[in-house]
């Protein structure tokens, strides 16, 4: 197991000379100089875990402290384990909750005997299979996602928004829907989030009978920055194993990418590195690229990734948010205005985007319906300003029709989630993409002009709701 640390006398590195938060400064008076990212420990206490991070000259080594701060003190002798962090991989991690070392934290006992794998990819590592670009839509059963921001199988989607707009809930519904009906496995990386949210997720996956195909890796918000930063690498290692060795399609979830980058910023500050814009680490771009570049699809198996991105103070120009966006095939922006109106999921169709929304990928019918829907909603925004001043009756007959159809379209895109049935009291729905395209076309063509807008709130498809004939 990865939790067993060995050391040898001839791998003595030096003594601790200072501890600043999660950064430990070692004076190298030994003969062995460990390479960066090698795992170190104390000569007297194997519970001490350090990772070689950066050299200053030839006699000073800065390390990340991965264990509790009270396990280390000045003068402690440090030795190398001779290897980097490794984690258990394979089917034994499915249905389990582990930490960055791959050690169980779910109270269900040790993992079955299995092989281990280093959590970092070395430069020049050969790719397992030929890298391919995704071209097929992965349906999620969520109307506003599948229609306005379609996700590609083997692609990456970011759920972007501030606090309390429903990112995690939307992500968990996607996980439940896709894993429940699909094959393959899923990996969930919880980085910098609350322990309660992790427990709720585990309970939800267990209740919906998808936990046995899901591996969960957590570095909670109460863990130090070094642990939170490295948790992403552990999760990516599990993804690579299932893709390259088991040849299985992988659905990968990250909650939250911003916390991963924020952890790197905290470490950079403690190291005294010259910050870039807004105080972020100078290695911001390379850190997110190193992580995202591991999540590719091959001819043998696909990696479909859904990642939440917290936007501090609703400032979408934040460097951590901006650094993440170029790596995504689809970006769903969650709007605070829509949450104030009680419309969930609060996906903003104007600011969201997807490379899949083109005639070749989604088909002519879907593409033209989406284009027309966006145009209708844009007219609605303009007409709403007039209505707020003079009232709806002052609009022309044609504009009144456009206004009401847009209102019905907005209401139709609301949806009750299966994982929140207990909280909302509404039965959750899952709607096929073809049904959404059909329903939107019917609304835009005026087939439901006589139906009041409130009838469209939190329904599934129009046929099941009895608002549209099956023919």
Overall average pLDDT of the 28-53 stretch: 92
Catalytic residue among 37, 167, 294, 405: 167
**Widest pairwise Cα distance in the chain:** 87
Residue 6 predicted with pLDDT over 80: no
Q: Report CA 413 to chain centroid distance, whole Å.
A: 23
Residue 211 predicted with pLDDT over 80: yes
pTM of the model: 0.92
The yes or no reply on domain 9-84 and CATH 2.40.10.170 is yes
Assign 121 a pLDDT band (cuts: 50, 70, 90): confident
Sequence ranges of the domains in the chain = 9-84, 88-359, 363-456
Closest C-alpha to 267, from 254, 255, 278, 279: 279
The yes or no reply on domain 363-456 and CATH 3.30.365.10 is no
Overall average pLDDT of the 73-85 stretch: 93
Residue 93 predicted with pLDDT over 50: yes
Q: Write down the pLDDT at residue 274.
A: 80
Overall average pLDDT of the 254-259 stretch: 94
**Considering the chain, what percentage of its residues have pLDDT values greater than 70?**
96
For 433, the token pair is: 């993409």
Catalytic residue among 194, 351, 381, 427: 194
Between 360 and 387, the higher pLDDT residue: 360
Residue 128 predicted with pLDDT over 70: no
Matching CATH number, 88-359, of 3.30.360.10, 3.30.70.100, 2.60.40.10, 3.40.50.300: 3.40.50.300
Catalytic residue among 139, 172, 193, 292: 193
Assign 1 a pLDDT band (cuts: 50, 70, 90): very low
Q: Write down the pLDDT at residue 371.
A: 96
Residue 258 predicted with pLDDT over 80: yes
pLDDT digits (tens, 9 = 90+) for 215-233: 999 999 888 899 999 999 9
Determine the straight-line distance between the first and last CA of the chain, rounded to whole angstroms: 60
Residue 4 predicted with pLDDT over 60: no
Residue 422 predicted with pLDDT over 90: no
Active site residue 193: yes
Phi and psi of 354, rounded to 5°?
Answer: -150, 135
Active site residue 341: no
Strand residue runs (E) in 246-387: 250-255, 297-298, 303-310, 330-333, 353-354
Q: Write down the pLDDT at residue 285.
A: 93
Q: Write down the pLDDT at residue 447.
A: 95
Overall average pLDDT of the 412-430 stretch: 93
Taking the C-alpha atoms of residue 383 and residue 9, their distance in angstroms, rounded to an integer, is: 77
Active site residue 194: yes
Taking the C-alpha atoms of residue 123 and residue 43, their distance in angstroms, rounded to an integer, is: 31
| 430-434, Cβ contacts within 8 angstroms, sequence gap of 24 or more | 430/141, 430/142, 430/177, 430/460, 431/141, 431/142, 431/143, 431/146, 431/460, 431/461, 432/139, 432/141, 432/461, 433/137, 433/139, 433/146, 433/147, 433/150, 433/366
pLDDT digits (tens, 9 = 90+) for 9-28: 568 999 999 999 889 999 99
């Amino acid at each position: 197991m990865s939790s067993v640390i060995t050391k040898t006398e001839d791998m003595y590195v030096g003594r601790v000379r200072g501890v600043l938060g999660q950064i430990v400064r070692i004076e190298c008076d030994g003969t062995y100089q460990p390479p960066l990212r090698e795992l170190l420990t104390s000569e007297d206490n194997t519970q001490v875990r350090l990772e070689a991070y950066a050299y200053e000259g030839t006699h000073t080594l800065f390390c990340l402290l991965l264990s509790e701060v009270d396990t280390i003190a000045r003068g402690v002798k440090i030795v190398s384990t001779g290897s980097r962090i490794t984690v258990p991989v394979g089917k034994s991690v499915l249905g389990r909750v582990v930490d960055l070392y791959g050690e169980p934290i779910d109270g269900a006992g040790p993992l079955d005997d299995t092989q281990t794998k280093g959590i970092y990819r070395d430069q020049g590592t050969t790719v397992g299979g030929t890298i391919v670009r995704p071209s097929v839509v992965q349906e999620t059963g969520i109307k506003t996602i599948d229609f306005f921001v379609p996700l590609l199988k083997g692609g990456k989607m970011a759920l972007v928004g501030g606090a309390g707009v429903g990112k995690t809930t939307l992500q968990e519904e996607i996980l439940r829907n896709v894993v429940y009906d699909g094959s393959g496995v899923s990996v969930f990386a919880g980085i910098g989030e609350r322990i309660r949210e992790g427990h709720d997720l585990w309970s939800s996956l267990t209740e919906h009978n998808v936990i046995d195909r899901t591996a969960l890796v957590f570095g909670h918000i109460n863990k130090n920055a070094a642990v939170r930063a490295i948790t992403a690498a552990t999760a990516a290692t599990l993804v690579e194993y299932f893709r390259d060795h088991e040849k299985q399609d992988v659905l990968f979830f990250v909650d939250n990418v911003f916390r991963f980058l924020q952890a790197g910023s905290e470490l950079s500050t403690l190291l005294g590195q010259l910050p870039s814009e807004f105080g972020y680490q100078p290695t911001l771009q390379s850190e997110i690229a190193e992580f995202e570049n591991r999540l590719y699809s091959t001819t043998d198996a696909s990696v479909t990734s859904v990642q939440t991105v917290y936007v501090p103070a609703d400032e979408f120009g934040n460097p951590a948010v901006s650094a993440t966006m170029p790596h995504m095939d689809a970006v769903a922006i969650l709007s605070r205005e829509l949450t104030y109106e009680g419309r969930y999921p609060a996906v903003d169709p104007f600011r969201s985007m997807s490379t899949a929304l083109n005639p070749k990928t989604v088909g002519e019918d879907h593409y033209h319906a989406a284009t027309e829907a966006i145009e209708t909603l844009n007219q609605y925004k303009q007409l709403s300003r007039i209505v707020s001043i003079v009232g709806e009756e002052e609009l022309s007959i044609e504009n009144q029709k456009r206004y009401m159809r847009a209102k019905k379209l907005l209401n139709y895109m609301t949806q009750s989630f299966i994982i929140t049935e207990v909280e909302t009291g509404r039965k959750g729905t899952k709607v096929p993409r073809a049904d959404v395209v059909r329903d939107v076309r019917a609304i835009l063509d005026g087939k439901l002009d006589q139906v009041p807008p409130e009838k469209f709130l939190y329904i599934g498809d129009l046929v099941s709701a009895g608002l549209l004939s099956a023919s």
